[in-house]
Amino acid sequence: MTQTFETIVIGGGVGGAGAAMRAVAHGQSVAVIEQRDWGGTTVTRGSTPKKVLLAGVEAHRAFAQQNGPVPPVDWSRLAAHRDAVVGQTQERFKQRFQTNGVTTFEGHAEFVNDQQVRVNGELLTAKNFVIATGARPREVAIPGGQLIQHSGSFFRSHQLPQHITILGAGVIAFAIAGIASEAGATVTLIQHNHVTLRGFDGQLVQTLLASLAKHNVHMIFDDEISQLAQTPTGLEVTTQQGAHWSTDVVYAALGRLANVEDLNLKAAGVAVPPHGIRVNEYLQTSNPHIYAVGDCAVTGTPNLANYAIYQGKYVGDALSAPQAFPITYPLQASAVFSLPRLAQVGASVAVARQDPAHYTLKTVDLSQWLTYQRNYDTDAKLLLVINRQSGEVVGAEAISLQADTVINQLALLIQQHVTPEALHDTFFAYPSTAADLYGIWT
Ligand SMILES: Cc1cc2nc3c(=O)[nH]c(=O)nc-3n(C[C@H](O)[C@H](O)[C@H](O)COP(=O)(O)OP(=O)(O)OC[C@H]3O[C@@H](n4cnc5c(N)ncnc54)[C@H](O)[C@@H]3O)c2cc1C
Ligand SMILES: NC(=O)c1ccc[n+]([C@@H]2O[C@H](COP(=O)([O-])OP(=O)(O)OC[C@H]3O[C@@H](n4cnc5c(N)ncnc54)[C@H](O)[C@@H]3O)[C@@H](O)[C@H]2O)c1
């Protein structure tokens, strides 16, 4: 006797939740299976713990700037607060499924055929499936590679290592570097080439690097770890170029790989290319009754929470009434949550620099604006990408302690094609980041 549902979602992260909550709202019988942590990467090892830790170190930085030297960050207190926030968020996540009528299962799911999965020895049957199994960190195959920790360990740590080495120079590496250095650690980032934070403007990235360098973050370019060895006092890193240093911990932040291997997808008739589950523009796999969303799917979009949620909701709607249109995406703002933050929206500054016939750039030095000056935000800067022909702002990129705020506000103005005249018809509280828009949006 198997339990039967109209839809089974595999993975209780943000993508799976988007699909399940929409499908149940349409009156379907829905089950979600989660093998580890309700809320998935975002809640457990991603943006939720990251933003709690960031709040603590940003407050530390701000207090020190306003008042002079202050005691170091109390990492165990901060970690306890993080654990409380993460634990409560996980619990709410699970409860939200249950109060909305989604049946939850805890265990590892794998396909038996294209209508059944097995969980904890039990068979569950459904007409449709949504695979939302996310991704895991890429590992490094070197001697001593088993001593390398995943970046997620940092965001769950209860003790702050004093000497931290990070492999990679992407979004996760810079988040760890910003948090750990303000909390008192010395950080070394090692990058195999010269490219940091691909997609962000090189000049703003240089500003971020210079700011971090003042806070004990060191960058090594064009080199790679070749060996890691345990010593009586910690770890010894050796690189391909022959450099050596001692460290307490090495975190890998080298990108992420789709979780697809142990789902027995072959039994369900789902083809899996090397980098994840290929889907069509309706997010169907090679079996049209089986969909894939979020980080496990190859959709041509970045692996970000917004996309996973949006794709999940799209599929949740499609399950009760076939989607008339292929999925399209709204304007996306994104941020690197380092110290300071980098953020961007719309047409990139890099594209504008390469195409001066179509775009012009406007640089706004925000450091002397009250919003930023009062916070000692000396690096604050905004770049606006302007379409030469229409004169409209079509993209923006910012660095500052609150770059994401101004970029999110600009996202609304860009998406809604708000004219400067229309903006002036609204009175924002003054002075504030929103009121700054009068000066920016002219
Ligand atoms: C450190 C870090 C910071 C990040 N910060 C941001 C950020 O600031 N902003 C942003 O937009 N994005 C951020 N991301 C990316 C974001 O977390 C992911 O894009 C998002 O979590 C993808 O959601 P998902 O539902 O596809 O996968 P996940 O959240 O990974 O969820 C997948 C779930 O499926 C479960 N699962 C896997 N296989 C099975 C199985 N066989 N049976 C049952 N369950 C299974 C897993 O346990 C997991 O809970 C960050 C990621 C990391 C690692
Ligand atoms: N704020 C955010 O929006 C946010 C924050 C964290 C994570 N994320 C998501 O999580 C994903 C993973 O983050 P990440 O920082 O691990 O990935 P990333 O793609 O941002 O950076 C990976 C880094 O590792 C390097 N690298 C890749 N392969 C390598 C190899 N074999 N040897 C040496 N270096 C190598 C890359 O050059 C790059 O510097 C991101 O792509 C993003 O989708 C988003």
Asked if the model's pLDDT at residue 35 lies above 90, the reply is: yes
Query: Looking only at Cα atoms, what is the longest distance across the chain?
Result: 70
Fold of domain 145-254: FAD/NAD(P)-binding domain (3.50.50)
CATH superfamily of 340-440: FAD/NAD-linked reductase, C-terminal dimerisation domain (3.30.390.30)
For residue 313 and ligand 1, the question of a CB distance below 6 A is answered with: no
Q: Which pLDDT tens digit goes with each residue over 250-262? A: 999 999 999 999 9
pLDDT at residue 274 in the model: 85
Q: What is the pLDDT of residue 207?
A: 98
Same fold, 3-136+257-318 and 145-254: yes
Mean per-residue pLDDT for 347-375?
96
What pLDDT does residue 352 have?
Answer: 96
Any residues with CB less than 8 A from the CB of 66 and at least 6 apart, and which? 376
Spacing, Cα 146 to ligand 2 middle (Å): 20
The per-residue pLDDT of the chain, averaged, comes to 96
Ligand 2: atom nearest CA of 334 is 3
Q: Tokens 């910690």 map to which residue?
A: 234
3-state SS assignment for residue 171: helix
Reduced to 3 states, what is the DSSP secondary structure of residue 21? helix
DSSP-assigned states of every residue in 252-270: E-S-EEES-GGG-GGGGT-
Closest C-alpha residue for ligand 1 atom 38: 133
Residues 392 and 372: beta-carbon distance below 8 Å: no
Is the distance from the beta carbon of residue 377 to the nearest atom of ligand 1 less than 6 Å?
no
Ligand 1: which of 38, 41, 82, 122 to mutate, most ligand atoms within 8 Å of CB? 41
CATH code for residues 3-136+257-318: 3.50.50.60
355 pLDDT tier (thresholds 50, 70, 90):
very high
pLDDT digits (tens, 9 = 90+) for 314-344: 999 999 887 789 999 999 999 999 999 999 9
Confidence of residue 212 (pLDDT cuts 50, 70, 90): very high
Nearest-atom index, ligand 1, CA of 110:
41
What integer pLDDT is reported at residue 410 of this predicted model?
98
For residues 138 and 223, the answer to whether their CB atoms sit within 8 Å is no
**Helix 171-182 × helix 202-213 angle, to 10°:** 30
158-192 per-residue burial string, b: 16 or more CB within 10 A, e: under 16:
eebbebbbbbbbbbbbbbbbbbbbbbebbbbbbbb
Give the residue whose CA is nearest to atom 33 of ligand 2. Answer: 192
- Compute the distance between CA of residue 138 and CA of residue 258 in angstroms, rounded to an integer: 10
Structural domain boundaries of the chain?
A: 3-136+257-318, 145-254, 340-440
For the segment 406-423, what is each residue's pLDDT rounded down to a tens digit?
Answer: 999 999 999 999 999 999
CA–CA separation, 425 and 405 (whole Å): 21
Which value does ipTM take for this structure?
Answer: 0.96
| CA–CA distance, 62 with 340 (Å, rounded to integer) | 12
- The whole-number pLDDT of residue 272 equals 86
Which pLDDT score is estimated for 442?
83
Q: Where are the beta strands (DSSP E) in 30-108?
A: 30-34, 103-106
Q: Which ligand ends up closest to the CA of 94?
A: 1
Average pLDDT over residues 206-223: 98
Q: Rounded to an integer, what distance in angstroms lies between the CA atom of residue 102 and that of residue 29? A: 7
- 416: Cα within 13 Å, side-chain hemisphere: 11
How does 93-118 read in b/e, with b if 16+ C-beta sit within 10 Å?
Answer: bbeebeeeebbbbeeebebeebbbbb
The rounded Å distance from CA 233 to ligand 2 centre is 29
Which secondary-structure segment (H or E) carries 381?
strand 381-387
Q: Is 262 left (phi over 0), alpha (psi -120 to 50) or beta?
A: alpha
% residues pLDDT > 70 (the chain): 100
For residue 139 and ligand 2, the question of a CB distance below 6 A is answered with no
Q: Is the pLDDT of residue 294 over 80?
A: yes
Dist. CA 121–CA 146, nearest whole Å = 31
Q: What is the mean pLDDT of residues 300-306?
A: 96
Task: Supply φ then ψ for residue 383, to 5 degrees.
Answer: -115, 130
User: Across residues 86-114, what is the average pLDDT?
Assistant: 98
Regarding the beta carbon of 11 and ligand 1, being less than 6 Å apart is answered: yes
Contact 194, 221 (CB under 8 A): yes
For residues 12-46, one letter each, b for 16 or more C-beta atoms within 10 angstroms of the residue's C-beta and e for the rest, the string is bbbbbbbbbbbbbebebbbbbbbbebbbbbbbbbb
Name which of 15, 25, 75, 18 is nearest 6 in CA terms.
25
89 in ligand 1 pocket by Cβ < 6 Å?
A: no
